[in-house]
Amino acid sequence: MRVTNQYIASIFAEIADLLDIAGENPFRVRAYRNAARTILSSSKNMADLVEEGFDLTTLRGIGKELSQKIIEIVQTGELSFLKRLKASSSPELETLLRIPGLGPRRVQQLHKELHINSLQDLKKALQKGDVEKLPGFGPKLIESIAKGLEEKTYEEKRYRLFEADPVAKEIIKSLKRSHRLLSIEIAGSIRRRRETVHDIDIVASCEAGSDMMDRFTTLQEVDKIIMKGPTRSSVTLKSGIQVDLRVVPKDAYGAALHHFTGSKAHNIALRKMAVKRGLKINEYGIFKADKRIAGKKEADIYKNLGLDYIEPEMRENRGEILLAGEHRLPRLIEEGEIRGDLHIHTTDSDGAGSLREMAMAAREKGYEYIAITDHTKHLTIAHGLDEKRVRKQLEVIDRLNEELEGITILKSAEVDILEDGRLDLPDTLLKELDLVVCAVHYKLKLSKKAQTRRILKAMEDPYFSILAHPTGRLIGLREPYEVDMEAVIKACTHRGCILELNAQPDRLDLTDIHCRMAKEAGVPIAISTDAHSVRDLDLMTYGIGQARRGWLEKSDVLNTKSLKELKKYLKKMRP
């Protein structure tokens, strides 16, 4: 198995965290974070580029030093610099990052101001009331930290779906070369498209004499074999993530896939249903007395309980079983139903692809349209556009639309919502755009009341179209800002605004719960990638996974409309 881009990026992200905690130069920290993003966004595998002798320094944000580190990781599977960095810092400081609300900057603050080097130090400081005296450590954050310590969330490292999913697919690709393999599939939280996962679960069915387990335990990425047996093996990869493989007979494959997909709550509810019918369900099948009556196919589990098949993303015991029994399950949205992407950045602000490149890439994906949403002037760190630059970009879009066939570029911008609720561009310019994507990018620590008032005020602008990444969260890095989402959704229904489901893997914002709230309120959702490069357009798959967890159907999603339908809809929103 090749070293993946995700693995290299995870090493650089870990280095950035450790440097940040140590109070290193912010530019050095940012260099590692930017390099990680570049690697994740690359359409080429770094291992392939190294083997080809490609000059990695030609990639954006990759200098000579970082290039050499990538080569070392590809050739050895590890990085000596990271080892030295870990050896020079307290091992528990990095563990603190697993506590909800504690990012690198806050861990550094605790370390510098209160000399906190361990979990025990943090517990004592909380008990003495020292932590709450630090700036930025409000009651809600203190409560979150205390809960994390109590529930020992630091004992379970979780990985973003985007980090684990490609690794799991690479493993599957390697294992498919096994002799006498019948079936194999990823199970667990990845199959349910959870935002974060603890480990990777794989279920396979093989004929006797297969070399599956030998192949699995000798993969290049394996760091440690936890256990190895004829039906189950577990390993830890060099990235730290655990992978469990279970091999079952073909007659039990469907039952095993269902069992190890979960969720636990969903499976328990089904087992209780089965008992009432005089049946028993486990990973080997569905049984009546001691006779197996089903198990080869996953759908048979549901059929024998009088239920329609429930898609993996819905299996959380949140009402899906009742609907399956009443034959009222939603037909979940599929990626092929997306007709365009309504949140895309270019080199005009902080993107890596030109207007033309992004349009051509979208056309290759079969899209009818895209919206170019470069940042506006307030976000100076992203080279935001002022009025003059926006008008110049609109002229370029007009020329490209005349030239390009098979794709239409919609005029838009990602406009900052200012602290007082005004938008970052005047209405005289906003009315010239096809749609306006609005976002909160600063003053994230306002009170819930103030933040909600800010967003509701912005929605009063007649040219407000879509609220981008509505809670501002970054999974594992930044908690959502405080906002009353019920009030925001209610305002959307009154003012005809749209909510974005941002497909960036570190955002996935809206959450699945908020997706369902919006669906039930009749608020349309735009699933957009917030693409900053050509490869980012492929992140739509993660947005679709989140949408399916939120029970969204095609009719709930704005960008399943054809270009003609979309233009008609957007026109109705305007004064």
Q: pLDDT band for position 101 (50/70/90)?
A: confident
The CATH number of the domain where 492 resides is what? 3.20.20.140
Are 304 and 289 members of one domain? yes
Residues 6+ apart with CB under 8 A from 120: none
pLDDT surpasses 80 at 525: yes
Are 36 and 179 members of one domain? no
State the average pLDDT over residues 447-461. 96
Residue 142 lies in a domain: yes
pLDDT surpasses 80 at 31: yes
Strands (E), 402-541: 408-411, 414-416, 437-439, 466-467, 498-502, 525-528
The CATH number of the domain where 279 resides is what? 3.30.210.10
End-to-end CA distance of the chain: 56
Q: pLDDT band for position 1 (50/70/90)?
A: low
Give per-residue pLDDT as tens, 475-524.
Answer: 877 789 999 999 999 999 999 999 999 999 889 999 999 999 999 999 99
What is the per-residue pLDDT for 136? 83
Give per-residue pLDDT as tens, 216-257.
Answer: 999 988 989 999 999 999 999 988 899 999 999 999 999 999
| Closest of 449, 445, 437 to residue 531, by C-alpha | 437
Residue 125 lies in a domain: yes
State the average pLDDT over residues 72-94. 86
The domain boundary residue, chosen from 294, 325, 356: 325
Contact 451, 417 (CB under 8 A): no
Are 400 and 434 members of one domain? yes
Cross-strand partners of 385:
376
User: pTM here?
Assistant: 0.84
What's the domain range around 229? Answer: 159-248
What is the per-residue pLDDT for 155? 66
What is the per-residue pLDDT for 2? 66
Residue 191 lies in a domain: yes
The CATH number of the domain where 232 resides is what? 3.30.460.10
pLDDT surpasses 80 at 382: no
- Count of C-beta atoms within a 10 Å radius of residue 172: 15
Mind spelling out the 3-state secondary structure of 446-479? CCHHHHHHHHHHHHCCCCCCEECCCCCCECCCEC
Are 136 and 241 members of one domain? no
What is the per-residue pLDDT for 507? 93
Residue 318 lies in a domain: yes
Q: pLDDT band for position 137 (50/70/90)?
A: confident
Residue 259 lies in a domain: no
Are 205 and 70 members of one domain? no
Are 391 and 516 members of one domain? yes
What is the per-residue pLDDT for 73? 92
Are 186 and 72 members of one domain? no
Residue 369 lies in a domain: yes
State the average pLDDT over residues 30-45. 82
Phi-psi map region of 352: left, alpha, beta (phi>0 left; psi -120 to 50 alpha) = alpha
What is the per-residue pLDDT for 4? 80
What is the per-residue pLDDT for 312? 98
Average pLDDT for the chain: 92
Q: pLDDT band for position 100 (50/70/90)?
A: confident
pLDDT surpasses 90 at 268: yes
Are 384 and 503 members of one domain? yes
Total domain count for the chain? 4
